[in-house]
C-alpha cells in the first residue's frame, strides 16, 4: 500500500438544520473555497468511521448518533492542486456522501488549521456557494429538494 500518500477515497458530510440551513466552511487553501465537511479515509478506516472523525475534527461535533448514509458514491478526477498528495498512478478519488440533520443551528468549533470561517446559509444559497460540484449536487438533492 502507498501509506506515504493519501488514500484516494473520501467522505463528504452535509450538515444542515431541519429548517434547511446548511453549514459551509471556507478552507484555508485555496482561498474562497467553501465546502461541507470533507476528508480522506485513513488506510485502515471505513467510510462511516471517517465521516464521524472528520466532523469531530472540523466542527467539534459528535454526530455518531445522527449520521445518515446518503447512499451515494461519486468518482471524480483528483484536482491538480491536490495531485501531489496521492500516489502518482492515482487519478481518481471516490467520495462517499453522508448527511447530518440537526434540529437547529449549533455552535461549531472550527479547526483553524483547516478553515478560515463558517456560515449557516439557506440551502439554495449554500448550493451556489459550495465550491465543488459534488457538494453542490448533494445540497441540492438532499436539502433543497428534500420535501
Dist CA 27 CA 146 (whole Å): 27
* 57 annotated ligand-binding residue: no
* 71 annotated ligand-binding residue: no
* 134 annotated ligand-binding residue: no
* 18 annotated ligand-binding residue: no
Task: List the one residue out of 132, 137, 142 whose CA is nearest residue 27.
Answer: 132
Dist CA 66 CA 56 (whole Å): 13
Asked whether 76 and 93 are in contact (CB, 8 A), the reply is yes
- Nine-digit cell at 88? 502518482
* 54 annotated ligand-binding residue: yes
* 101 annotated ligand-binding residue: no
* 9 annotated ligand-binding residue: no
Residue list for the binding site for Mg(2+)? 54, 58, 114
Residue list for the binding site? 6, 27, 38, 54, 58, 114, 132
Residue list for the binding site for substrate? 6, 27, 38, 132
Amino acid at each position: 500500500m502507498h501509506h506515504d500518500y493519501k488514500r484516494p477515497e473520501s467522505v463528504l458530510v452535509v450538515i444542515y438544520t431541519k429548517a434547511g440551513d446548511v453549514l459551509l466552511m471556507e478552507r484555508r487553501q485555496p482561498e474562497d473555497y467553501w465546502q461541507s465537511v470533507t476528508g480522506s479515509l485513513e488506510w485502515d478506516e471505513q467510510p462511516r468511521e471517517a465521516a464521524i472523525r472528520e466532523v469531530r475534527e472540523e466542527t467539534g461535533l459528535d454526530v455518531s448518533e445522527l449520521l445518515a448514509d446518503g447512499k451515494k458514491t461519486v468518482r471524480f478526477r483528483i484536482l491538480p492542486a491536490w495531485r501531489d498528495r496521492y500516489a502518482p498512478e492515482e487519478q481518481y478519488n471516490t467520495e462517499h456522501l453522508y448527511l447530518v440533520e440537526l434540529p437547529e443551528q449549533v455552535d461549531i468549533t472550527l479547526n483553524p488549521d483547516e478553515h478560515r470561517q463558517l456560515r449557516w446559509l439557506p440551502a439554495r444559497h449554500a448550493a451556489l456557494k459550495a465550491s465543488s460540484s459534488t457538494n453542490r449536487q448533494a445540497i441540492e438533492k438532499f436539502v433543497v429538494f428534500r420535501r
